[in-house]
Amino acid sequence: MRALVGVALIALIGCGKGTAEIALGTVGETMAYDQTAFTVQTGQKVHVVLSNHATSQAMKHNWVLVKPGTEADVANGGVAAGEGSGYLKQGDANVIAFTPLSQPGGQVEVTFVAPAAGSYPFICSFPGHYTLMKGTLTVTP
């Protein structure tokens, strides 16, 4: 009986976290996300939806969560990989989660489990965008 109560409690705690819904967009024809800071809990399921509000073909965008300090490496690897690879090096160990590349007017999404507590940068890896198009995902314990 005690074991059953324990299982029920764990299930409840698991439900309490729920899925973190992150909906962000891009700002017109600029290299900018309309929101740049989000907070989720470690182990929480995170659903990110990126809406690309641009119309210019130079304004394709994605959302790439990376290990701290690896923004330039990931972006440069993406440029080398090219558009066919969504401007991401395949199997890049510095990438935690990423959406496909969104066409202007499009919407892309990704679901992942939040990593260990910490502060993680997210960037757009389209060539030339990452220095301006970025934000921070804070993961709490």
- List interacting residues with Cu ion (CB under 5 A): 61, 124, 126, 129, 133
Name the minimum Å distance from CB 98 to Cu ion: 12
- Closer to Cu ion by CB, 89 or 129: give it: 129
Task: Say if CB 120 and CB 96 are below 8 A apart.
Answer: yes
Name the minimum Å distance from CB 133 to Cu ion: 5
Name the minimum Å distance from CB 87 to Cu ion: 9
- Closer to Cu ion by CB, 32 or 96: give it: 32
- Closer to Cu ion by CB, 48 or 133: give it: 133
Name the minimum Å distance from CB 121 to Cu ion: 14
- Closer to Cu ion by CB, 19 or 56: give it: 56
